[in-house]
Structure 1
Amino acid sequence: MKRILNILLIPFSIFVLTACEIFHLDNYDGPNASFYGGIKDAETGELVETDIQNGSAIRAYELGWPTEAALTWVIKQNGEFRNDMAFAAHYKIEFINCNFFPFTIEDLEIKSGDNQHDFQATPYIRINNINIRKEGNSIVATFNLQAGKPEVKLSAIRLYAFTDIYVGEQVKFETQGTNSRQTFSPAKEIDNTTYTLRIELDENTNLFKYNRNYYFRVGALASVSNVGTVRYNYAPLVVIPL
């Protein structure tokens, strides 16, 4: 009987020791900082808008660890960001695969509490003089483009539509007709051309069948070498009730 009890106690003891070690390893302080701000155009001061899904992001590495793992902090569609679950520490910040020229900050300190910080960036393309309106039975967008640097060329432009604020390349109606988009192959020089895009409502009655607010946004895709994945640049969205 004593031998049986000893055998039964061995796995129980291992379980207790393991559980204690787990609780001990998990006994760390939680996040103690908020980090928020915006990605701003270094020339105009305007927010650099993006896609909430598969758009630009902040890649952060907490310094001081033997292995520095990348943390991905999402940038909202309007170009702002907010992380209320950060740890006070020093970080290396990288911006790669975005819709602006890549850059790195080698050491940025996030202190305990609130931390507001705006990053200055150069977007690949600026969408200027944007005007999106309803004309008859069409949604019409007119605009000009400006290259962030001389080497930037233009691959595509599109007028997007959807039922909420996340409208863009990743969240959109697949509208019928060819007037809502243009693709350039090879990529073309960016000049002072005034572009016009339109969505014909009578060709897309299945998408715009309810009386409600719809969200429209113009996006432009750059062609530029040696910068990683290029994301769309955007103008601010416009809400039009139909």
Structure 2
Amino acid sequence: MKKILLLVSCCLFALTSCEVDNYDGPNASIHGSILDEQTGELVGSDMENGNAIKVREQGFSKPADQTWYITNTGEYRNNMVFAATYDVRFENGNFYPFEIKDFVVKAGDNTYDFKVIPYIRIKNSKIEKNGNVITATFSLEAGKPEVKLKEIQVFAFSDMWVGNNVKLALNGGTNKRTFSPTVAINTTETYTLTIDLDENKDVLKYSKNYYFRIGALADVSGVGTVRYNYAPLAVIKL
């Protein structure tokens, strides 16, 4: 009899445990874009260690951070979200940080575009192949007057994830320019960066499409980690 009672107790405990863990799954999805509030253009970043959306679901005594990842094009999608009210914040990116309280995600599909102020806008960008040289020309505009320029660079890689964290190590040094000390951004100046293909035969050695992207790194105080701002990528067959 004692063995039977012990067996029944174990079964009841197992059933109770299963019932406690039987939570409903995510019942919502959300997607949208990160847009420059002035131009309406997508604000692209790095796919790896780039911009991200940090959220905390309300209603918990110790809510944990969740991350909704943003693609390098400046778009995001999360298909596994709980319908709830969240606190949303942006930090350590390539635009001014901010926070949204009481952000509501409803059951089903949600669309929301976030409007931001990028540290630097890359304007009039053009990347072309002229003979054996890749030439990038562009101008810059500061998101706010206090923004200074730290670095500009044209990146190259074998696919669309090209950027500061996913790039080929190029030879020659003409694809990058560093400003030390940092300088104020002059909107009338046209910047030129180049990649000598003869000097990079060991790097850009295949006859195929390569992906190029202009980046500019700002110097801004009191905003946390500052990441590159980018122009749209260009695809060139070599």
Tell me the TM-score normalised to structure 1 length.
0.93
Equivalent residue, structure 1, for 2:48: 53
- Count matched residues: 237
Matches within 5 A, 1:28-47: 28-47=23-42
Distance 1:18 1:52 in 2: 46
Q: Give 2:45's aligned amino acid.
A: T
Mark the CA change 1:14 to 1:54 in structure 2 (over 3 Å): closer, same or farther.
Answer: farther
Matches within 5 A, 1:121-160: 121-160=116-155
Matched, 1:75 2:35: no
Distance 2:16 2:169 in 1: 54
Structure 1 residue 65 displacement after superposition = 1.1
Matches within 5 A, 1:1-242: 16=11, 19-192=14-187, 193-242=189-238
> What SS class does the counterpart of residue 218 from structure 2 fall into?
strand
Structure 2, gaps ≥5 residues long? none
> What SS class does the counterpart of residue 20 from structure 1 fall into?
helix
Distance 1:13 1:134 in 2: 78
Mark the CA change 1:235 to 1:14 in structure 2 (over 3 Å): closer, same or farther.
Answer: farther
Distance 2:234 2:17 in 1: 52
Q: Give 1:214's aligned amino acid.
A: Y
Mark the CA change 1:120 to 1:18 in structure 2 (over 3 Å): closer, same or farther.
Answer: same
Q: Give 1:203's aligned amino acid.
A: E
> What SS class does the counterpart of residue 23 from structure 1 fall into?
helix
> What SS class does the counterpart of residue 19 from structure 2 fall into?
helix
Distance 2:225 2:83 in 1: 30
RMSD, aligned α-carbons: 1.7
Structure 1, gaps ≥5 residues long? none
Tell me the TM-score normalised to structure 2 length.
0.95
Structure 1 residue 20 displacement after superposition = 3.3
Mark the CA change 1:13 to 1:177 in structure 2 (over 3 Å): closer, same or farther.
Answer: farther
Distance 1:24 1:30 in 2: 14
Distance 1:15 1:223 in 2: 63
Distance 1:121 1:22 in 2: 46
Mark the CA change 1:21 to 1:223 in structure 2 (over 3 Å): closer, same or farther.
Answer: farther
Mark the CA change 1:177 to 1:24 in structure 2 (over 3 Å): closer, same or farther.
Answer: same
Task: Render the CA deviation track for 1:200-236: whole Å, top value 9, x for unaligned.
Answer: 1111111211111100000011000000111110000
Identity %: 54
Moved more, 142-151 or 205-214: 205-214
Structure 1 residue 40 displacement after superposition = 0.3
Structure 1 residue 58 displacement after superposition = 0.1
Structure 1 residue 25 displacement after superposition = 2.5
